[in-house]
């Protein structure tokens, strides 16, 4: 009997389209391996839909694909995913859900919380680990606390001055690794662009601009055991900034469904000294240990080729194409996805269940009205 998995993609995020590509790719991998797949599309406006199997990217150009069925997402005592029929309803009951959501509330822990409330095990780490991974300031602070080398990272503040001088890279505090990034000379320019940019208004972080640093990527997975891939070196374009841009990351490469995901320009394995590759693998394991991230994760690194210094830059708890291209020399794609789903199903993240205690606090509380005395503000 084949496994029954859900593959969840889309979502309200600037990376919505890339999430669709990752979801469709993952669905095909699992279908080709003989599993049953329920493709769940999260539309930008918030609705969930069960879409037909084997849809193509073009089917989403006008919105929800033809033949899709609206899903009733139900919380409460009878939580679950339901599809209404003419007479009654059908409940969708996957063994686990593969979250292919990039950026936004999906990758940031919101989907983990939702599926936990629905009672459906899901990949993509816990709410808490996912939120730290999406918050660049919190992630930088965690790296510093764990003693993992990273560049200085501070909030863009209208009140206090940064502890390091410009030029600066200004990044959205909450978001992906390549959208909304700006390079400025000084703090005044950073503050001005922080107010003007739609990507930065919700919060931004500052880092020193180091154009000599080289991008490197590595992936780890946590099931059946902690394992890392070889090191990848994305090849930057000829932009004046030298930054690895969104277009290069997701839209470059050969035309077709794989463009920017599995065929973007890259050097793989990266042509670096063995000491650098070993150090990258060590840092990836340390990131896994410090963050508590599970499933399939990509760690983005920065290398100073002159000194050999290596820094952890960011982490992607739900990486593009699920980093399957990084795993290809070591593990079949279906094995990587299945192992993540089995981990979610058999080893779910759980906290102590809520519930009533002895009632001592409630009995001792007295009347609530008495506790409101003095809370109505100052008296003249």
Burial (CB count <10 Å: 0-12, 13-18, 19+), residue 324: buried
| 348 occurs within a structural domain | no
Torsion angle, alpha carbons of 249, 41, 61, 263, to 10: 30
Which of 4-18, 213-227, 246-260 is the least confident region?
A: 246-260
- Mean pLDDT over each residue of the chain, to the nearest integer: 91
Q: Is 9 helix (H, G, I), strand (E, B) or coil?
A: strand
Task: Map residue 247 onto helix, strand or coil.
Answer: helix
Write down the H helix ranges in the chain. Answer: 16-32, 104-105, 111-118, 127-134, 136-146, 187-196, 246-250, 274-291, 324-327, 333-346, 360-364, 368-371
- Measured distance CA(82)–CA(365) in Å, rounded: 41
- For the stretch 27-56, pLDDT in tens is 999 999 999 999 999 999 999 999 999 999
The pTM score is 0.90
Question: Distance between CA 48 and CA 345 in Å, rounded?
Answer: 22
Confidence of residue 360 (pLDDT cuts 50, 70, 90): confident
Helices and strands: H and E segment counts in the chain: 12, 17
Alpha carbon distances (Å) from 73 to 79, 82, 83, 87, 104: 8, 7, 9, 18, 19
What pLDDT is stored for residue 260 in this prediction?
47
18 plus 64 within the same structural domain: yes
Answer yes or no: is 75 within a domain: yes
- Report which of residues 43 and 372 the model is more confident about: 43
Q: What is the pLDDT of residues 150-171, one digit of tens each?
A: 999 999 999 999 999 999 999 9
Strand duo 36-42 + 4-10: pairing: parallel
Write out the residue range of the structural domain in which residue 158 sits: 152-209
* Sign of the torsion angle spanned by Cα atoms 144, 148, 152, 156: negative
Residue 120 is assigned to a structural domain of this protein: yes
- Domains held by the chain: number: 2
Residues 53 and 98 in one domain: yes
pLDDT confidence tier of residue 372, bands split at 50, 70 and 90 = confident
Whether the predicted pLDDT of 117 surpasses 60:
yes
Three-class DSSP category at 55: coil
Nearby residues of 244 by Cβ (< 8 Å), 6 or more positions away: 178, 215, 234, 236
Give pLDDT tens digits for 323-346.
999 999 999 999 999 999 999 999
Q: How many CA atoms lie within 13 A of 2 on its CB side?
A: 12
Please state, as a whole number, how many other Cβ atoms lie within 10 Å of the Cβ of residue 257: 16
Q: Do 173 and 67 share a domain, yes or no?
A: no
Of 285, 30, 336, whose CA–CA distance to 146 is shortest?
285
232: DSSP letter? B
pLDDT at 140: 97
Grade residue 248 by pLDDT with cuts at 50, 70 and 90: low
Window from 50-54, 97-101, 369-373 with minimum mean pLDDT = 369-373
Is the residue at 26 inside a domain?
yes
Same domain for 89 and 45, yes or no, is: yes
Tell me the CATH number at 89.
3.40.50.20
Q: Of the candidates 165, 182, 209, which is a domain's last residue? A: 209
Are residue 113 and residue 176 in the same domain, yes or no? no
Percent of the chain with pLDDT over 90: 78
Confidence of residue 191 (pLDDT cuts 50, 70, 90): very high
Mean pLDDT, residues 311-319 taken together = 97
Q: What is the dihedral of CA 78, 82, 87, 88, to 10 degrees?
A: -10
Reported as a single tens digit per residue, the pLDDT across 61-78 is 999 999 999 999 999 999
Structural domain contains residue 166: yes
How much is the pLDDT for 338? 98
Residues 176, 117: one domain? no
Phi-psi region of 252 (alpha: psi -120 to 50; beta: other; left: phi over 0): beta
Span 98-119, average pLDDT: 95
Q: In what order do the strands lie in the sheet with 168-172?
A: 154-155, 204-208, 168-172, 182-184
First to last CA, the chain: 75
CB-based contact 326:232 (threshold 8 Å): yes
Dist CA 201 CA 194 (whole Å): 6
Rounded to the nearest angstrom, the gap between the alpha carbon of residue 180 and the centroid of all alpha carbons in its chain is 16
Residue 302 resides in a domain: no
pLDDT of residue 351: 78
Report the pLDDT value the prediction gives residue 257, as an integer from 0 to 100. 39
**Do 28 and 105 belong together in one domain?**
yes
Between residues 351 and 66, which one has the greater pLDDT?
66
Q: Which residue has the tokens 């919505």?
A: 16
Residues 259-290 pLDDT 10s = 445 667 899 999 999 999 999 999 999 999 99
Q: By three-state DSSP, how is residue 133 classified? A: helix
Residue 185 lies in a domain: yes
**DSSP characters over 11-54:** -SSTTHHHHHHHHHHHHHHHHHTT-EEEEEEE-TTS-EEEPPTT
Residues 179 and 94 in one domain: no
Please report which confidence band the pLDDT of residue 242 belongs to, taking 50, 70 and 90 as the band edges: low
Asked if 295 and 221 touch (Cβ cutoff 8 Å), the reply is: yes
- Assigned domain for 157 exists: yes
């Amino acid at each position: 009997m084949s496994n029954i998995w859900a593959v969840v993609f889309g979502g309200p995020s600037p990376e919505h389209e890339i999430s669709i590509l990752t979801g469709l790719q993952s669905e095909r991998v699992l279908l080709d391996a003989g599993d049953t797949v329920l493709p769940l599309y999260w539309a930008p406006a918030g609705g969930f839909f069960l879409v037909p199997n084997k849809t193509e990217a073009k089917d989403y150009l006008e919105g929800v694909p033809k033949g899709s069925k609206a899903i009733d997402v139900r919380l409460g005592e009878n939580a679950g995913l339901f599809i209404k029929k003419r007479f009654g309803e059908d409940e969708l009951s996957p063994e686990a859900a593969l979250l292919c959501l990039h950026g936004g509330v999906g990758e940031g822990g919101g989907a983990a919380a939702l599926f936990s409330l629905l009672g459906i095990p899901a990949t993509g780490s816990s709410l808490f680990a996912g939120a730290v991974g999406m918050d660049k300031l919190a992630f930088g602070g965690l790296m510093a606390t764990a003693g993992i080398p990273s560049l200085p990272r501070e909030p863009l503040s209208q009140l206090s001055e940064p502890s390091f001088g410009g030029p600066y890279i200004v990044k959205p505090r909450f978001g992906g690794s390549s959208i909304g990034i700006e390079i400025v000379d000084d703090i005044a320019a950073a503050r001005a662009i922080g107010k003007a940019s739609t990507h930065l208004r919700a919060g931004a972080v500052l880092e020193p601009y180091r154009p000599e640093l080289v991008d490197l990527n590595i992936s780890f997975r946590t099931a059946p055991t902690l394992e890392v891939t070889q090191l990848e070196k994305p090849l930057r374009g000829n932009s004046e900034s030298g930054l690895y841009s969104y277009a290069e990351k997701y839209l470059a490469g050969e035309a077709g469904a794989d463009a920017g995901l599995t065929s973007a320009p890259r050097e793989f394995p990266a042509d670096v000294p063995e000491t650098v590759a070993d150090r990258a693998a060590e840092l990836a394991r340390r990131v896994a240990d410090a963050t508590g991230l599970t499933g399939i994760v990509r760690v983005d690194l920065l290398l100073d080729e002159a000194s050999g210094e290596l820094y952890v830059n960011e982490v992607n708890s739900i990486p593009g194409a699920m980093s399957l291209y990084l795993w290809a020399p070591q593990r079949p794609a279906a094995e990587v996805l299945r192992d993540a789903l089995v981990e979610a199903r058999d080893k779910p993240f759980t906290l102590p269940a809520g519930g009533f205690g002895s009632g001592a606090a409630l009995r001792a509380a007295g009347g609530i009205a008495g506790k409101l005395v003095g809370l109505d503000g100052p008296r003249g």
